[in-house]
Amino acid sequence: MPVRSRLVDLVGLALFVALCLGVGALGASIAATSVENWYSGLVKPSFNPPDEVFGPVWTVLYILMGVAAWRVWRSADWDTTRGPLTLFALQLAINLGWTVVFFGLQKIASAVATIVVLDVAVLVTMLAFRAVDQVAALLMLPYVAWVAFATLLNVAIWRLNPAV
């Protein structure tokens, strides 16, 4: 493990968590433009959680993701962490991309394709994290589970709203 000061570690942690929460806030601002009008008018499956659940769940997931990425960053040298952290940044971008496609563009079928790519990207990232830090990989498990659930939800909404 590289030698870093405690201050550098804490600043790194704050930056990783802030990055994830920032992406989440950007996504939430995009979603907010559609939730009350377009999204509320969609037919949703019986297992669709109430709208109030999404914000707290995503906040916890983004914090866990930030801590996981930070653990990888601090666990090894740059040559070892560059690949996993690049995958992390890519899946974070795809995560935001899904929000843009689903809520911003209101393209449900395209969002299904995007979230399937996100599923793969998150799993690959988790496996890459596991090679560097087991705890980091475990911290990604709730995110993997939630994105899998979100995929089922997205597919169900697409099937229930074929004309959209």
Phi-psi region at 77: left, alpha or beta (left = phi > 0; alpha = psi -120 to 50): beta
The interaxial angle of helices 108-132 and 51-75, nearest 10 deg, is: 30
In the chain, where the domains are located: 6-160
Look-up of token digits 């974070």:
92
Residue 76: pLDDT band (50, 70, 90) is confident
Which residues, in sequence order, are CB contacts of 108 under 8 Å at separation 6+? 102, 154, 157, 158, 161, 164
Determine the CATH number of domain 6-160. 1.20.1260.100
Cα(3)–Cα(78) distance, rounded to whole angstroms? 13
Q: What is the pLDDT of residues 19-45, one digit of tens each?
A: 999 999 999 999 998 988 999 999 999
Q: What is the pLDDT of residues 36-73, one digit of tens each?
A: 899 999 999 999 999 999 999 999 999 999 999 999 99
Q: What is the pTM of this model?
A: 0.94
